[in-house]
Every structure is written in C-alpha cells, then in structure tokens.
Amino acid sequence: MPNKLKSGFPVKAYNISQVSRILGVHRHTVRYWIKKGWVKPKKDYRNNFVFTPSDLSKIKKWRRTLK
C-alpha cells in the first residue's frame, strides 16, 4: 500500500529505514541530515518522514558532489 502524504494523495514514498538501506548509510545519518536541514522530506498522515523518488535522486546527486 502506498504511503499517503498529509494532502491525502497516495504516492510512492520511502521511510527513513528504506532510504538508509538504499543509500548505504545508518538511519541516524539520515535523521542528522534532516535535523541540519540538508534534507527536507515531507511527512505522512502519521507524521512520519517520507521521501519521494525525487528526494532520493536529489540526495544521491548531492552526495556525489561531495565526493
């Protein structure tokens, strides 16, 4: 079942655990990025952070420029 953002529309989205697995980093690292404002994911109806495929591609691009 797709996640729903607060707007109520279903969308393909990933939670912090899924994003950390995809990127090969720890969940705490993703939370740190959010805390610092480097990543700005939306929240779902349960107030959990959700990342869209667009968010993931931006993060991957951002990480490539840092290397």
Whether 37 is in a domain gets the answer yes
Whether 6 is in a domain gets the answer no
Q: Given a cut of 60, is residue 46 above it in pLDDT?
A: yes
Cβ pair 27, 20 in contact under 8 A: yes
Whether 1 is in a domain gets the answer no
Whether 50 is in a domain gets the answer yes
Q: Is 25 helix (H, G, I), strand (E, B) or coil?
A: coil
Say which CATH number the domain at 45 has. Answer: 1.10.1660.10
**Residue range of the domain that includes 52:** 12-66
Whether 35 is in a domain gets the answer yes
Give the number of domains in the chain.
Answer: 1
Buried residues in 16-55 as b, exposed as e (16+ CB within 10 A):
beebbeebeeeeeebeebeeeeebebbebeeeebbbbeeb
Q: What is the pLDDT of residue 40?
A: 94
Cβ pair 41, 49 in contact under 8 A: yes
pLDDT in tens, 16-38: 999 999 999 999 999 999 999 99
